[in-house]
Amino acid sequence: MSRRRRRPPRVTRGTDVGLRAFHLAFISLSVILAAFAAAWAIGQYRLEHALEYVLAAVGSVGAGVALALYGAAFQRKTRRL
């Protein structure tokens, strides 16, 4: 029984996205999602005047700010990678 040599996997050029770039893109999308959630909660508060929507808006803004700060710190920390 003959054994075939395994070929190394093909590398396609131009499609390789690093983990750092993916992480930064994911953080950016999360900040945008938090902004949309805050805008939605403010719009709902204008319609119903319920305290839950104010809390959701404040939480979303807080989460967006925290994510933006984390993204900036992550970018500074991994700049030389």
Range of the domain at 26: 19-77
Q: Residue 1: pLDDT band by 50, 70, 90 thresholds?
A: low
CA distance 17 to 19: 7
Tally of structural domains, the chain: 1
pTM summary value:
0.76
Residue 48 included in any domain: yes
Residue 63 included in any domain: yes
Q: Write out the H or E segment, with its range, that includes residue 8.
A: none
Residue 59 included in any domain: yes
pLDDT tens sequence across 25-77: 999 999 999 999 999 999 999 999 999 999 999 999 999 999 999 999 999 99
Residue 26 included in any domain: yes
Q: Residue 17: pLDDT band by 50, 70, 90 thresholds?
A: confident
Residue 34 included in any domain: yes
